[in-house]
């Protein structure tokens, strides 16, 4: 009886050991995945950063060369503040001379401003302004014609508090506001009080911004080219590069605006930058633009 009991105990132990080893083999080791959440709080894009295909751009035969007298180029990227994560990080890896224009009152307004500061990109306040088309939505809060100078001052001061490293401002939409002389005088007065330059995005050919600046004894900049209009295609980029020829011999820098909405716009900008660098065109910062316009260093 005792012998039978011992045999049963041995068999039970062997069975238990076998089950335990099988269980260990069947349970895979838990894989620790890399974090998917950036410090900004937004998921990283599942896209690898790649070099844009320059074939079409480089094969185009230009009618002018790097020996032509070309002014330097200033590039401003509008509409930061809505997105963060990998795409924002990749924009921040662009040359330091490129400026970020950041919309106030958005989820990532301050995130974009801080990142621009860490990566040495100058920043602008992208001021929401009323468009001629009143169905257009400039944002939660925006400058409108008919606002008194105190309301304008309060709003601009609040926008500046959100983007305190800004050195300048340009308009987001604003075709109605920038065409109104009295409103523009109030805006430029307050921006000057804050120590900020103004650059007219030129969303209307009836802008009163230069007249207002002249009345105040100020100098402002003006957008010459929208890089991503009508689209981000190679044909558009080629057209914009060829169009630079009309600025040959000009003293003032050429001001170019594009946007940060998606990776296609980033790729198009990278193509443009590669080609103008190959052509010997200098890229300068917004602050250097205003020094060239006559502001002291």
User: What is residue 52's predicted lDDT score, i.e. its pLDDT?
Assistant: 75
Which pLDDT value is given to residue 296? Answer: 75
Instruction: Answer for the pair 86, 38: CB distance below 8 angstroms, yes or no.
Output: yes
What single DSSP character describes residue 117? H
Mean pLDDT of the region 8-25:
44
Tokens of 170: 């340009």
The overall average pLDDT reported for the chain is 85
pLDDT at residue 19 greater than cutoff 70 = no
What pLDDT shows up at residue 54?
Answer: 75
Q: Is the pLDDT reported for residue 288 higher than 70?
A: yes
pLDDT band at 147 (very low <50, low <70, confident <90, very high): very high
Higher per-residue pLDDT: 289 or 56 = 289
The residue ranking higher by pLDDT, 62 or 15, is: 62
pLDDT band at 295 (very low <50, low <70, confident <90, very high): confident
> 3-class DSSP state for residue 246?
helix
DSSP 120: T
User: Is 238 in contact with 271 (CB distance < 8 Å)?
Assistant: no
Residue carrying structure tokens 């008194």: 148
List, in order, residues 6 or more apart from 41 with CB less than 8 Å away: 84, 111
61 pLDDT above the threshold of 60:
no
Rounded to an integer, what distance in angstroms lies between the CA atom of residue 177 and that of residue 64? 39
Q: What is the mean pLDDT of residues 192-210?
A: 98
Q: What is the distance between the alpha carbons of residues 49 and 72, in angstroms, rounded to a whole number?
A: 28
In percent, how much of the chain has pLDDT > 70? 78
Top pLDDT among 251 and 54 is at 251
Mind listing the pLDDT tens digit for each residue in 84-119?
Answer: 999 999 999 999 999 999 999 999 999 999 999 999
Residue 283 bridge partners (DSSP): 73
Beta bridge mates, 74: 255, 284
Q: d(Cα 131, Cα 48) in Å, to the nearest integer?
A: 37
In the chain, where does DSSP find H-type helix?
A: 2-26, 55-59, 86-92, 109-118, 149-162, 181-193, 209-216, 234-243, 263-278, 286-292
In this prediction, residues 19-44 reach a mean pLDDT of: 32
How far the first Cα of the chain sits from its last, in Å, is 104
Residue by residue, what is the 3-state secondary structure of 80-108? Answer: ECCCCCHHHHHHHCCCCCCEEEECCCCCC
Domains along the chain with CATH numbers: 78-292 (3.20.20.370)
Name residue, tokens 């801080």.
Answer: 114
Predicted confidence band of residue 33 (pLDDT cuts 50, 70, 90): very low
pLDDT band at 46 (very low <50, low <70, confident <90, very high): very low
Q: Report pLDDT for 60.
A: 63
79 band by pLDDT with thresholds 50, 70 and 90: very high
pLDDT of residue 6: 47
Could you tell me the pLDDT band of residue 59, with boundaries at 50, 70 and 90?
low
Nearest to 176 by CA among 219, 136, 140: 136
Give me the percent of the chain exceeding a pLDDT of 90: 74
pLDDT band at 37 (very low <50, low <70, confident <90, very high): very low
**Selection from 297, 283, 294 nearest residue 74 by Cα:** 283
């Amino acid at each position: 009886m005792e012998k039978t009991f011992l045999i049963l105990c041995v068999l039970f132990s062997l069975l238990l050991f076998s089950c335990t080893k099988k269980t260990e083999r069947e349970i895979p080791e838990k894989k620790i995945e890399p974090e998917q959440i950036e410090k900004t709080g937004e998921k990283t894009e599942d896209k690898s950063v790649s070099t844009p295909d320059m074939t079409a751009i480089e094969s185009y035969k230009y009618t002018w060369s790097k020996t032509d007298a070309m002014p330097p180029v200033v590039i401003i990227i509008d509409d930061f503040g809505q997105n963060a994560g990998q795409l924002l990080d990749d924009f921040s890896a662009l040359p330091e001379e490129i400026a970020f224009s950041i919309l106030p009152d958005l989820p990532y307004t301050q995130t974009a401003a801080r990142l621009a500061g860490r990566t040495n990109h100058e920043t602008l306040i992208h001021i929401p302004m009323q468009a001629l088309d009143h169905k257009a939505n400039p944002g939660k809060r925006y400058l409108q014609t008919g606002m008194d100078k105190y309301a304008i001052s309060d709003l601009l001061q609040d926008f500046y508090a959100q983007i305190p490293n800004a050195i300048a401002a340009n308009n987001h939409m604003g075709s109605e506001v920038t065409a109104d002389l009295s409103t523009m005088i109030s805006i430029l007065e307050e921006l000057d009080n804050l120590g900020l330059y103004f650059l007219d995005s030129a969303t209307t050919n009836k802008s009163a911004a230069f007249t207002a600046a002249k009345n105040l004894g100020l100098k402002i900049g003006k957008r010459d080219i929208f890089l991503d209009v009508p689209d981000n295609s190679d044909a558009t980029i080629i057209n914009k590069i060829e169009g630079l020829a009309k600025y040959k011999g000009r003293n003032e820098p050429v001001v170019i605006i594009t946007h940060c909405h998606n990776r296609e716009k980033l790729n198009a900008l990278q193509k443009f930058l590669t080609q103008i660098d190959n052509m010997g065109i200098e890229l300068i910062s917004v602050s250097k633009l205003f020094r060239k316009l006559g502001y002291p260093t």
